[in-house]
Structure 1
Amino acid sequence: MTLQDHLRATLDWHFDSATGSPFWLRKAKTLDFDPRTDIASVADLRRFPDVSGELRTVPVEDLVPAGAAGQPFEVFESGGTVGAPKRVVDAHARSRNVEWVSEVLAAHGFPGRGHWLHVGPTGPHVVGRTVRHLAQLRGSMCFTLDFDPRWVKRLIGSGRTELAAEYREYLIEQIELVVNTQNVSVLFITPPVLEAVCARPGLYERLADSLEAILWAGTSISPESLRQIEETFFPNARVAAIYGNTLMGIAPQRPREDGDRHPCVFVPYHPQSLVELLDPETGGPVAYGERGQVLVHQLSRDMFLPNVLERDTAIRVEPAAGSDLDGLADIAPLKAKDAPAVIEGVY
């Protein structure tokens, strides 16, 4: 299916009275255009208002398309980095995204065996289910631990950095409880916690011996720190990253190519997740090699979320050989006077 066909099918589904959700059928009455006849291209999606703020309070049953009634839907929440969490519903879309990510990890050389350890949020966050699903797809069992990023962000935001450091130590102790009794082959972790792991000699040595792959996500990392992880601390492990969030889905790092200027280039799940990089001043697209603010369009049968302006920025990267999909590199928070404060913490 072409992008144009996918866009048309998505709009027809969400704005037909027989298949659309109560949320979007109500919203359609307030628009000054007809989504089914007036939206002809991805560029036209910017005519929609950014409704993501309403996801903090809308009843989740209003988000479920009538055409999917009776299917089991799950509810996931955003991390609440810049305010109260937003909620989305999902039946099948995220699973398809994860299945594709598993294929990309295979191209990175990730093993199809051994135990995984997920050092990241679970609870209402989609990443917990994602990593467990990835482990299952790759023939593995997955250990998880308690990890509450909102609590750490509250501690840091209120200046209680000593308590935040104590919480990080608590996470390290939980990792040790698993690693000291189980052989872990694949580790999902965030850069700040991985740095703390490397500073704990016994724990680091055991993981350095057992790990075949590391999948990191959640916070930004400098090229120098990433180089140290890959070449100094874990030279025998495959290392890859994923970028994404509850609203946009998962964009895995594509395998590196000769001549890549950036160590990590992420590619969104096309055409379900479309990402544009915009100049914050003009609102127009940036050129290759330039930094722009992330604009997301989520186009699935489970959820339609157009024109969501994220608090992240990224550098636009030319498509890899044999592909026509732009890449994203060097993800970083938006730096502007009116940008919301971003607290990364441990995730």
Structure 2
Amino acid sequence: MMSSSDQPVALSRQASFGVETGFVVWSALFVVPRVVVNVHKTKKLLIEDAVSIFALVLLMAALTLNCEVAEAIFTPTPALFLVRVITAFNFLIGFAMWSSKVPILLLYVRLFGITTNWLRIAAYTTIAVTLALFLAGMSYVGASCVPYTADPSAEFVNTCKDRINVGSLALGFVAISTDIIILVLPIPVLMSLSIPQHKKVGLMFVFLSGIVALAAGITSLFYKWQSTSGGTIMQMRVAMLCRVVESCIAIVAGSVPALYAFWKTFIAPSALYSRARSCLSSIAKRIPSLRGSQTGPRLPLTKDDSSQEQNGRGGISQSHVR
């Protein structure tokens, strides 16, 4: 077991769990409008919406189980329970990472698959190949970490630990490769197609978020590599945090293009939005008059003042004539 006092930890267990939960909630705020508008239009739950919900559930389950893993590491725990918890956690986080990226590929198919056959084939192939690789990695870990006795030996626990580390690193490389494919796959299509402005904005967000997700995946893989070679607890927590960030960004990126439809369908026609818009419009109209009133009120002219002003104007005009 590992003591919390062995290494200085800058990020506490509670803080890391809070940040990770915040990212999951943030991504859920994008998934809900997407599901609502798609169900409203199609009268059914689309496969990419179901996968996004599934990814959120898996992420929350993985975060909860990660707390059990941390508790088992810091406290005296039976080896059998520790092996089971760590194995289950790796299954959950692996499938969560895979399912978080699938909606983006399905979004590409829905937007461009009808007119671009090669993109549809590439997207479905990526989904199938990455699923097969994730299943192979999970099977590799599971086959090595299923105890045949109620009291597994220390050699068995160490072997399981080594297999988990190898499997985690391999899945990290698969996740990074998927991010690269998601990043470059739509570029030829975007350069050749003329699409509405709001779709361009949504796809640009997907493209930029792919860069951030790729950076998070590389960072997670780096810290995971460090933690497998005698790293600190802090490195393990940073690796987990980056995994969650990578998955949440992928979920959000797949949901952003539906926000315009949600706005146009539910927000713009609402009475509350109309009242807020009219209120802001009236305030905007009053701003010029308020600026003009800052120069002070102008008193009405008397007859003498009016005649003097006219004479003054006439004198000026006569001087110019001369």
The normalised TM-score by structure 2 is 0.23
Give 1 or 2: higher helix fraction. Answer: 2
Structure with more of its chain in strand, by fraction: 1
Larger CA Rg, structure 1 vs 2: 2
Higher relative contact order (CA 8 A, sep 6+): 2
